[in-house]
């Protein structure tokens, strides 16, 4: 891996970690009922997921592998290469984000918040652990 490419990958990974830490804090607040604006959790989750996908994409670029046509293809490839566990869970994240736009009812947003707390946060934390091991 070229030094300049690795440096860029490190920057993407650090950005992801920053988003993940913010998401962890918002989940703690939400679990305690202290979250002032529930939609903040959904927005932060979307940003964290995007940062994870950007990190994966940069990882593959550093490996000399091509661009992907979308987040689903990238997710499938990352699962096959053991960058992520629970490929279906990650695909569910993509689908949940599609469903949870501002135009959907509040119950859809609430359902997504539950999935973030119960499942998606753990998947993102596992990705952090795997990427950290790869980059060390």
For 29-64, the pLDDT digits (tens) are 999 999 888 889 999 999 999 999 999 999 999 899
Residues of the chain with pLDDT under 70: 1-7, 100-104
The answer to whether the CB of 24 falls within 8 A of the CB of 121 is yes
pLDDT value of position 39: 85
H-helix or E-strand spanning residue 23: helix 3-31
Shortest CA distance to 71 belongs to which of 48, 54, 88, 89? 54
The token pair that represents 76 in the structure block: 């499938």
Domain ranges in the chain are: 3-135
Dist. CA 117–CA 44, nearest whole Å? 12
pLDDT value of position 118: 96
Query: What would the 3-class secondary structure string for 81-123 be?
Result: CCCCCCHHHHHHHHHHHHHCCCCCCHHHHHHHHHHHHHHHHHH
Q: How far apart are the first and last CA of the chain?
A: 13
Q: Please tell me the pTM assigned to this model.
A: 0.89
Shortest CA distance to 39 belongs to which of 129, 100, 120, 115? 100
């Amino acid at each position: 891996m070229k030094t300049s490419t690795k440096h860029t990958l490190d920057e993407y990974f650090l950005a992801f970690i920053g988003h993940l830490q913010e998401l962890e804090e918002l989940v703690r607040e939400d679990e305690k009922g202290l979250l002032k604006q529930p939609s903040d959790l959904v927005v932060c989750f979307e940003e964290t997921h995007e940062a994870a996908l950007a990190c994966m994409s940069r990882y593959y670029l550093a490996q000399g592998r091509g661009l992907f046509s979308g987040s689903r293809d990238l997710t499938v490839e990352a699962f096959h290469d053991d960058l992520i566990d629970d490929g279906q869970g990650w695909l569910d994240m993509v689908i949940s984000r599609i469903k949870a736009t501002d135009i959907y009812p509040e119950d859809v947003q609430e359902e997504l918040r539950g999935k973030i707390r119960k499942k998606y946060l753990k998947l993102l934390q596992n990705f952090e652990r795997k990427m950290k091991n790869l980059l060390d």
